[in-house]
Amino acid sequence: MKILTLKWDCFGYNHIRNAFKRAGFELCEVDFPRDKEDARNSEALAKIVVEAIQKNNADAVFSFNYFPVAAIAAAACRVKYISWTYDSPYIFLYSKTIEFPTNYAFVFDKSEYFNLRQKGVNTVYYMPMAANTDYFDSIEMTEYERKKYSADIALIGSMYTEKRHDLIRHFEGLDDYTAGYLEGIMDAQKQIYGTSILEKSMTPEIIKNIQKVCPMFESGDGIEDAAWVLSNYFVARKLTSLERSDMVKALSDKYRVALYTPEKTPDLPKADNRGTVEYYKDFPKAVKNAKINLNISLRSIVTGIPLRAFDIMGCGGFLLTNYQSDFNDYFISGEDYVYFESKEDLVEKAGYYLEHDEERISIANSGYRKVRENHNFDIRVKEIIKIAGMA
Protein backbone atom coordinates (compact mmCIF):
# COMPACT_ATOMS: atom_id res chain seq x y z
CA MET A 1 0.00 0.00 0.00
CA LYS A 2 1.33 3.41 -0.98
CA ILE A 3 0.93 6.58 1.06
CA LEU A 4 1.40 10.06 -0.35
CA THR A 5 2.62 12.43 2.38
CA LEU A 6 2.08 16.15 2.01
CA LYS A 7 5.37 17.86 2.69
CA TRP A 8 5.34 21.13 4.57
CA ASP A 9 7.40 22.36 7.52
CA CYS A 10 5.31 20.61 10.08
CA PHE A 11 6.35 18.82 13.22
CA GLY A 12 7.34 15.15 12.94
CA TYR A 13 7.33 14.83 9.14
CA ASN A 14 10.24 12.42 8.99
CA HIS A 15 9.19 10.61 12.15
CA ILE A 16 5.79 9.66 10.75
CA ARG A 17 7.16 8.69 7.39
CA ASN A 18 9.71 6.39 8.98
CA ALA A 19 7.02 4.86 11.13
CA PHE A 20 4.83 4.16 8.11
CA LYS A 21 7.88 2.65 6.39
CA ARG A 22 8.54 0.37 9.34
CA ALA A 23 4.90 -0.68 9.22
CA GLY A 24 5.43 -1.88 5.68
CA PHE A 25 4.01 0.96 3.63
CA GLU A 26 5.49 2.37 0.43
CA LEU A 27 5.93 6.11 0.53
CA CYS A 28 5.92 9.03 -1.85
CA GLU A 29 5.63 12.74 -1.21
CA VAL A 30 4.70 16.05 -2.73
CA ASP A 31 5.59 19.60 -1.73
CA PHE A 32 2.54 21.25 -0.20
CA PRO A 33 3.01 25.04 -0.16
CA ARG A 34 0.24 25.71 2.30
CA ASP A 35 1.76 29.03 3.29
CA LYS A 36 1.69 30.36 -0.25
CA GLU A 37 -1.72 29.05 -1.31
CA ASP A 38 -5.06 29.07 0.43
CA ALA A 39 -5.29 25.51 1.72
CA ARG A 40 -9.01 25.91 2.21
CA ASN A 41 -10.06 26.98 -1.26
CA SER A 42 -7.15 26.94 -3.68
CA GLU A 43 -7.98 24.90 -6.77
CA ALA A 44 -4.34 25.03 -7.80
CA LEU A 45 -3.29 23.40 -4.53
CA ALA A 46 -5.97 20.73 -4.85
CA LYS A 47 -4.75 20.04 -8.36
CA ILE A 48 -1.18 19.55 -7.13
CA VAL A 49 -2.39 16.88 -4.74
CA VAL A 50 -4.62 15.18 -7.33
CA GLU A 51 -1.76 14.98 -9.80
CA ALA A 52 0.58 13.59 -7.18
CA ILE A 53 -1.97 10.93 -6.18
CA GLN A 54 -2.41 9.89 -9.81
CA LYS A 55 1.24 10.07 -10.77
CA ASN A 56 2.30 7.91 -7.82
CA ASN A 57 -0.72 5.63 -7.80
CA ALA A 58 -1.12 6.42 -4.15
CA ASP A 59 -3.69 4.47 -2.12
CA ALA A 60 -3.93 7.07 0.61
CA VAL A 61 -2.87 10.58 1.51
CA PHE A 62 -1.40 11.69 4.84
CA SER A 63 -0.68 15.10 6.29
CA PHE A 64 -0.10 16.61 9.67
CA ASN A 65 -2.98 19.06 10.18
CA TYR A 66 -6.12 18.87 8.14
CA PHE A 67 -6.33 20.67 4.80
CA PRO A 68 -9.66 21.03 2.99
CA VAL A 69 -8.04 21.06 -0.45
CA ALA A 70 -6.30 17.77 0.32
CA ALA A 71 -9.63 16.30 1.43
CA ILE A 72 -11.17 17.44 -1.83
CA ALA A 73 -8.32 15.98 -3.84
CA ALA A 74 -8.38 12.63 -2.03
CA ALA A 75 -12.16 12.39 -2.29
CA ALA A 76 -11.99 13.13 -6.00
CA CYS A 77 -9.48 10.32 -6.47
CA ARG A 78 -11.46 8.07 -4.13
CA VAL A 79 -8.53 7.49 -1.81
CA LYS A 80 -8.39 7.86 1.97
CA TYR A 81 -7.15 11.10 3.47
CA ILE A 82 -5.58 10.69 6.88
CA SER A 83 -4.77 13.83 8.79
CA TRP A 84 -3.39 14.27 12.28
CA THR A 85 -3.98 17.76 13.63
CA TYR A 86 -1.70 19.09 16.34
CA ASP A 87 -2.45 22.80 16.08
CA SER A 88 -5.04 24.63 18.14
CA PRO A 89 -7.22 26.42 17.40
CA TYR A 90 -7.55 24.90 13.98
CA ILE A 91 -10.26 26.44 11.91
CA PHE A 92 -9.96 24.14 8.88
CA LEU A 93 -11.48 21.31 10.93
CA TYR A 94 -14.75 23.19 10.63
CA SER A 95 -14.72 23.20 6.85
CA LYS A 96 -17.67 21.30 5.44
CA THR A 97 -15.17 19.09 3.60
CA ILE A 98 -14.48 17.37 6.93
CA GLU A 99 -17.53 15.22 6.35
CA PHE A 100 -16.21 13.47 3.25
CA PRO A 101 -16.34 9.73 3.98
CA THR A 102 -12.76 9.34 2.71
CA ASN A 103 -11.54 11.42 5.66
CA TYR A 104 -9.96 10.09 8.81
CA ALA A 105 -9.24 13.22 10.77
CA PHE A 106 -7.33 12.65 13.99
CA VAL A 107 -7.27 15.42 16.57
CA PHE A 108 -5.15 15.62 19.71
CA ASP A 109 -7.66 17.40 21.98
CA LYS A 110 -10.42 15.12 23.25
CA SER A 111 -12.79 18.03 23.86
CA GLU A 112 -12.33 19.11 20.24
CA TYR A 113 -13.14 15.56 19.20
CA PHE A 114 -16.34 15.57 21.28
CA ASN A 115 -17.21 19.03 20.01
CA LEU A 116 -17.05 17.97 16.40
CA ARG A 117 -18.81 14.66 17.01
CA GLN A 118 -21.63 16.52 18.73
CA LYS A 119 -21.92 18.69 15.63
CA GLY A 120 -22.48 15.50 13.65
CA VAL A 121 -19.00 15.07 12.21
CA ASN A 122 -18.30 11.34 12.15
CA THR A 123 -14.93 11.45 10.47
CA VAL A 124 -12.96 12.71 13.46
CA TYR A 125 -11.09 10.58 15.97
CA TYR A 126 -9.08 11.30 19.09
CA MET A 127 -5.35 10.65 18.88
CA PRO A 128 -2.89 12.24 21.30
CA MET A 129 0.48 13.39 19.98
CA ALA A 130 3.69 11.42 20.26
CA ALA A 131 7.45 11.73 20.63
CA ASN A 132 10.41 10.08 18.95
CA THR A 133 12.63 9.37 21.93
CA ASP A 134 15.33 7.73 19.77
CA TYR A 135 15.73 11.03 18.02
CA PHE A 136 15.86 13.00 21.27
CA ASP A 137 18.33 10.51 22.73
CA SER A 138 20.61 10.93 19.75
CA ILE A 139 21.09 14.65 20.27
CA GLU A 140 24.67 15.35 21.31
CA MET A 141 25.62 18.26 23.51
CA THR A 142 28.93 19.88 24.20
CA GLU A 143 29.91 21.00 27.67
CA TYR A 144 29.49 24.55 26.50
CA GLU A 145 25.94 23.84 25.38
CA ARG A 146 25.10 22.17 28.68
CA LYS A 147 26.14 25.35 30.43
CA LYS A 148 24.46 27.59 27.92
CA TYR A 149 21.10 25.93 28.27
CA SER A 150 21.27 25.24 31.95
CA ALA A 151 18.30 26.65 33.92
CA ASP A 152 16.30 26.01 37.04
CA ILE A 153 12.95 26.61 35.39
CA ALA A 154 12.45 26.94 31.65
CA LEU A 155 9.46 28.02 29.61
CA ILE A 156 9.83 27.57 25.89
CA GLY A 157 7.11 29.18 23.84
CA SER A 158 5.40 32.29 22.69
CA MET A 159 4.12 34.79 25.24
CA TYR A 160 1.55 35.83 22.65
CA THR A 161 2.35 39.46 23.20
CA GLU A 162 3.65 39.92 19.67
CA LYS A 163 1.50 42.20 17.58
CA ARG A 164 0.51 39.39 15.26
CA HIS A 165 -0.90 37.47 18.22
CA ASP A 166 -2.64 40.34 19.92
CA LEU A 167 -5.69 40.07 17.79
CA ILE A 168 -7.58 42.05 20.39
CA ARG A 169 -5.80 45.13 19.12
CA HIS A 170 -8.21 44.75 16.20
CA PHE A 171 -10.91 45.65 18.69
CA GLU A 172 -9.82 49.25 18.96
CA GLY A 173 -12.83 51.40 19.44
CA LEU A 174 -14.75 48.62 21.15
CA ASP A 175 -17.38 49.99 23.54
CA ASP A 176 -16.51 49.97 27.23
CA TYR A 177 -19.19 47.50 28.23
CA THR A 178 -18.07 44.84 25.75
CA ALA A 179 -14.40 45.40 26.58
CA GLY A 180 -15.28 44.91 30.25
CA TYR A 181 -17.34 41.83 29.42
CA LEU A 182 -14.40 40.17 27.66
CA GLU A 183 -12.21 40.89 30.69
CA GLY A 184 -14.89 39.42 32.93
CA ILE A 185 -15.09 36.12 31.09
CA MET A 186 -11.31 35.90 31.10
CA ASP A 187 -11.28 36.61 34.87
CA ALA A 188 -13.68 33.70 35.26
CA GLN A 189 -11.93 31.29 32.90
CA LYS A 190 -8.63 31.89 34.70
CA GLN A 191 -10.07 30.21 37.76
CA ILE A 192 -10.67 26.87 36.15
CA TYR A 193 -9.08 24.27 33.90
CA GLY A 194 -10.69 21.38 32.09
CA THR A 195 -13.67 23.23 30.73
CA SER A 196 -13.93 26.32 28.59
CA ILE A 197 -16.73 28.83 28.86
CA LEU A 198 -15.22 31.29 26.41
CA GLU A 199 -17.22 30.24 23.37
CA LYS A 200 -20.59 29.91 25.08
CA SER A 201 -20.09 33.29 26.75
CA MET A 202 -20.18 34.97 23.35
CA THR A 203 -23.77 36.11 23.27
CA PRO A 204 -25.26 37.48 20.03
CA GLU A 205 -25.20 40.96 21.54
CA ILE A 206 -21.52 40.76 22.39
CA ILE A 207 -20.65 39.36 18.96
CA LYS A 208 -22.61 42.16 17.33
CA ASN A 209 -20.71 44.78 19.34
CA ILE A 210 -17.37 43.26 18.38
CA GLN A 211 -18.30 43.00 14.72
CA LYS A 212 -19.05 46.72 14.74
CA VAL A 213 -15.34 47.40 15.19
CA CYS A 214 -13.90 44.21 13.70
CA PRO A 215 -16.10 42.80 10.98
CA MET A 216 -15.18 39.18 10.37
CA PHE A 217 -15.40 37.51 7.01
CA GLU A 218 -17.64 34.52 6.67
CA SER A 219 -15.74 31.74 4.96
CA GLY A 220 -18.94 30.39 3.49
CA ASP A 221 -18.03 26.74 3.53
CA GLY A 222 -17.77 26.13 7.24
CA ILE A 223 -19.68 25.28 10.36
CA GLU A 224 -17.48 27.40 12.56
CA ASP A 225 -19.07 30.61 13.55
CA ALA A 226 -18.24 33.99 14.97
CA ALA A 227 -18.43 32.78 18.56
CA TRP A 228 -15.93 30.01 17.83
CA VAL A 229 -13.51 32.26 15.99
CA LEU A 230 -13.70 35.03 18.57
CA SER A 231 -13.30 32.80 21.57
CA ASN A 232 -10.57 30.56 20.17
CA TYR A 233 -8.49 32.93 18.10
CA PHE A 234 -8.92 36.13 20.03
CA VAL A 235 -9.94 35.65 23.61
CA ALA A 236 -8.19 32.33 24.33
CA ARG A 237 -4.92 33.70 23.00
CA LYS A 238 -5.24 36.91 24.99
CA LEU A 239 -5.99 34.96 28.15
CA THR A 240 -3.00 32.68 27.60
CA SER A 241 -0.80 35.71 27.16
CA LEU A 242 -1.99 37.15 30.47
CA GLU A 243 -1.60 33.85 32.27
CA ARG A 244 1.90 33.09 30.99
CA SER A 245 3.01 36.56 31.93
CA ASP A 246 1.40 36.37 35.36
CA MET A 247 2.86 32.97 36.14
CA VAL A 248 6.36 33.74 34.92
CA LYS A 249 6.32 36.92 36.94
CA ALA A 250 5.31 35.08 40.10
CA LEU A 251 7.95 32.39 39.50
CA SER A 252 10.75 34.77 38.61
CA ASP A 253 10.12 36.72 41.81
CA LYS A 254 11.33 33.68 43.73
CA TYR A 255 13.30 31.46 41.37
CA ARG A 256 15.53 31.63 38.31
CA VAL A 257 13.39 31.35 35.22
CA ALA A 258 14.72 31.08 31.67
CA LEU A 259 12.38 32.19 28.91
CA TYR A 260 12.91 30.99 25.35
CA THR A 261 10.54 33.20 23.46
CA PRO A 262 10.53 35.40 20.36
CA GLU A 263 9.04 38.40 22.14
CA LYS A 264 10.74 41.03 24.21
CA THR A 265 9.51 40.84 27.79
CA PRO A 266 10.04 44.22 29.44
CA ASP A 267 7.31 43.42 31.99
CA LEU A 268 9.31 40.42 33.23
CA PRO A 269 12.65 41.92 34.17
CA LYS A 270 13.57 39.12 36.58
CA ALA A 271 13.17 36.39 33.98
CA ASP A 272 16.16 35.55 31.80
CA ASN A 273 14.86 36.03 28.26
CA ARG A 274 17.15 34.00 26.02
CA GLY A 275 15.30 34.64 22.78
CA THR A 276 14.06 31.95 20.47
CA VAL A 277 15.43 28.44 20.33
CA GLU A 278 15.50 26.42 17.14
CA TYR A 279 12.99 23.60 17.35
CA TYR A 280 14.78 20.58 15.93
CA LYS A 281 18.36 20.73 17.22
CA ASP A 282 18.36 23.18 20.09
CA PHE A 283 14.96 22.89 21.77
CA PRO A 284 15.83 19.39 23.10
CA LYS A 285 19.04 20.79 24.57
CA ALA A 286 17.12 23.55 26.33
CA VAL A 287 14.71 20.98 27.76
CA LYS A 288 17.37 18.54 28.88
CA ASN A 289 19.34 21.15 30.76
CA ALA A 290 16.46 22.68 32.67
CA LYS A 291 15.58 21.22 36.03
CA ILE A 292 11.91 22.05 35.53
CA ASN A 293 10.14 22.52 32.19
CA LEU A 294 6.91 24.43 32.22
CA ASN A 295 3.87 23.95 30.10
CA ILE A 296 1.16 26.60 30.30
CA SER A 297 -1.30 25.49 27.68
CA LEU A 298 -2.88 27.70 25.08
CA ARG A 299 -6.41 28.15 26.36
CA SER A 300 -7.99 26.97 23.12
CA ILE A 301 -6.65 23.53 24.04
CA VAL A 302 -9.42 22.66 26.45
CA THR A 303 -8.49 19.14 27.59
CA GLY A 304 -5.71 18.02 25.23
CA ILE A 305 -2.10 17.15 26.00
CA PRO A 306 -0.11 19.74 24.06
CA LEU A 307 2.65 18.54 21.75
CA ARG A 308 5.01 20.53 23.94
CA ALA A 309 4.32 18.15 26.85
CA PHE A 310 5.30 15.08 24.79
CA ASP A 311 8.40 16.91 23.58
CA ILE A 312 9.43 17.63 27.16
CA MET A 313 8.76 14.18 28.56
CA GLY A 314 10.29 12.57 25.49
CA CYS A 315 13.50 14.46 26.14
CA GLY A 316 13.57 13.15 29.70
CA GLY A 317 12.65 16.56 31.06
CA PHE A 318 10.62 17.09 34.23
CA LEU A 319 7.24 18.44 33.19
CA LEU A 320 5.30 20.90 35.37
CA THR A 321 2.09 21.77 33.59
CA ASN A 322 -1.31 23.34 34.10
CA TYR A 323 -4.02 20.77 34.61
CA GLN A 324 -5.24 19.25 31.37
CA SER A 325 -7.65 16.36 31.80
CA ASP A 326 -6.47 14.25 28.83
CA PHE A 327 -3.30 13.52 30.81
CA ASN A 328 -5.41 11.37 33.11
CA ASP A 329 -5.87 8.81 30.35
CA TYR A 330 -2.19 7.96 30.22
CA PHE A 331 -0.15 9.57 32.95
CA ILE A 332 -0.18 9.97 36.69
CA SER A 333 0.61 13.29 38.31
CA GLY A 334 3.30 12.93 40.93
CA GLU A 335 4.62 9.87 39.13
CA ASP A 336 5.27 10.76 35.48
CA TYR A 337 4.76 14.53 35.53
CA VAL A 338 3.23 17.11 37.85
CA TYR A 339 0.28 19.43 37.32
CA PHE A 340 -0.66 22.67 39.04
CA GLU A 341 -4.13 24.09 39.53
CA SER A 342 -3.41 27.76 40.12
CA LYS A 343 -0.62 30.32 40.11
CA GLU A 344 -0.07 29.81 43.83
CA ASP A 345 0.03 26.05 43.40
CA LEU A 346 2.57 26.46 40.59
CA VAL A 347 4.92 28.57 42.69
CA GLU A 348 4.71 26.14 45.60
CA LYS A 349 5.35 23.07 43.46
CA ALA A 350 8.18 24.70 41.55
CA GLY A 351 9.88 25.45 44.85
CA TYR A 352 9.30 21.95 46.14
CA TYR A 353 10.68 20.17 43.09
CA LEU A 354 13.69 22.46 42.85
CA GLU A 355 14.53 21.32 46.37
CA HIS A 356 13.84 17.62 45.89
CA ASP A 357 16.23 16.53 43.13
CA GLU A 358 15.83 12.79 43.50
CA GLU A 359 12.05 12.89 43.38
CA ARG A 360 12.10 15.25 40.44
CA ILE A 361 14.52 13.13 38.43
CA SER A 362 12.62 9.97 39.23
CA ILE A 363 9.38 11.53 37.96
CA ALA A 364 11.09 12.75 34.79
CA ASN A 365 12.48 9.28 34.17
CA SER A 366 9.13 7.64 34.64
CA GLY A 367 7.47 10.09 32.22
CA TYR A 368 10.21 9.45 29.69
CA ARG A 369 9.76 5.67 29.92
CA LYS A 370 6.00 5.90 29.45
CA VAL A 371 6.37 8.15 26.42
CA ARG A 372 9.07 5.93 24.96
CA GLU A 373 7.02 2.76 25.34
CA ASN A 374 3.45 3.94 24.77
CA HIS A 375 3.55 7.22 22.91
CA ASN A 376 5.90 6.69 20.01
CA PHE A 377 5.11 6.98 16.33
CA ASP A 378 4.97 3.24 15.73
CA ILE A 379 2.18 2.84 18.24
CA ARG A 380 0.28 5.76 16.78
CA VAL A 381 0.67 4.45 13.23
CA LYS A 382 -0.66 1.08 14.36
CA GLU A 383 -3.74 2.80 15.76
CA ILE A 384 -4.18 4.89 12.62
CA ILE A 385 -3.98 1.80 10.43
CA LYS A 386 -6.59 0.06 12.56
CA ILE A 387 -9.05 2.94 12.60
CA ALA A 388 -8.62 3.90 8.98
CA GLY A 389 -8.81 0.29 7.85
CA MET A 390 -5.50 0.35 6.06
CA ALA A 391 -4.19 -3.12 6.85
Partner 1 sequence: MKNILYYSWDEMIKNDAIESLVNSGYRVSEYRSAFDKYDFDEKNILSLKKKIDNDGSKPDAIFSFNYFPDVSRVALEKGIPYFSWVYDNPHLTLESETLGNETNRVFLFDSSQVEKYRGEGIKNIFYSPLPAKIVINNNPRYNHDVSFVGTMYDGDKDQYGLIKNIPDKLKGRLDGIVVAQHLIYGCDIIDGAIKGIESEIRRYIKTSLGEHYRKSDIDIFSDIMRKRVTMFDRIRTMHILGEKFNVDLYCEKDHPELPVKYKGVVANKDLPALMNSSKVNLNISLRSIRKGIPLRVMQILGSGGFCLTDYKEDMDGLFEDGRDIAWFNYEEEMIEKCDYYLKHDNERCKIAQSGQATAIKKLSYEKLMGDIFNKI
Burial (CB < 10 A; 0-12, 13-18, 19+), residue 240, is buried
249, 29, 50, 291: which is closest to 159 by C-alpha?
Answer: 249
Number of residues that bind partner 1 (CB under 8 A): 23
Q: Site for partner 1 (CB under 8 A): which residue of 48, 182, 230, 247?
A: 182
Q: Work out which of 78, 173, 191, 389 binds partner 1, going by CB under 8 A.
A: 191
Among 38, 54, 177, 281, binds partner 1 (CB under 8 A): 177
- Integer Cα distance of 133 and 377 in angstroms: 10
Identity of the residue, 118 or 138, whose beta carbon is nearer to partner 1 in the bound complex:
118
Q: Of 12-20, 176-184, 329-337, 349-357, which part binds partner 1 (CB under 8 A)? A: 176-184
**Could you tell me if 340 and 320 are in contact, meaning their C-beta atoms sit under 8 angstroms apart?**
yes
Binding status of residue 213 toward partner 1 by CB under 8 A: no
SS3 382: helix
**Of all residues in the chain, what percent are helix, strand and coil, respectively (each to 5)?**
45, 15, 40
Determine which residue in the list 14, 51, 192, 330 makes contact with partner 1, applying CB under 8 A: 192
Q: Does 179 bind partner 1 (CB under 8 A)?
A: yes
Report the candidate in 4, 17, 8, 104 with the shortest Cα–Cα distance to residue 62: 4
Note whether 234 binds partner 1 by CB under 8 A: no
- Binding partner 1 (rule: CB under 8 A), the pick from 132, 189, 231, 293 is 189
Q: How far is the CB of 175 from partner 1 (least distance, A)?
A: 7
Is 180 a binder of partner 1 (CB under 8 A)?
yes
Q: Is 183 in the site for partner 1 (CB under 8 A)?
A: yes
Among candidate residues 269, 266, 240, the one with its CA nearest the CA of residue 257: 269
**Run of H or E residues at 152:** strand 151-156
Binding piece for partner 1, criterion CB under 8 A, among 61-69, 177-185, 210-218, 347-355: 177-185
Angle formed at CA 370 by CA 195 and CA 322, multiple of 5 degrees: 30
Q: Cβ of residue 182: shortest distance to partner 1, in angstroms?
A: 7
Contact positions toward partner 1, by CB under 8 A?
175-192, 195, 197, 200-201, 203
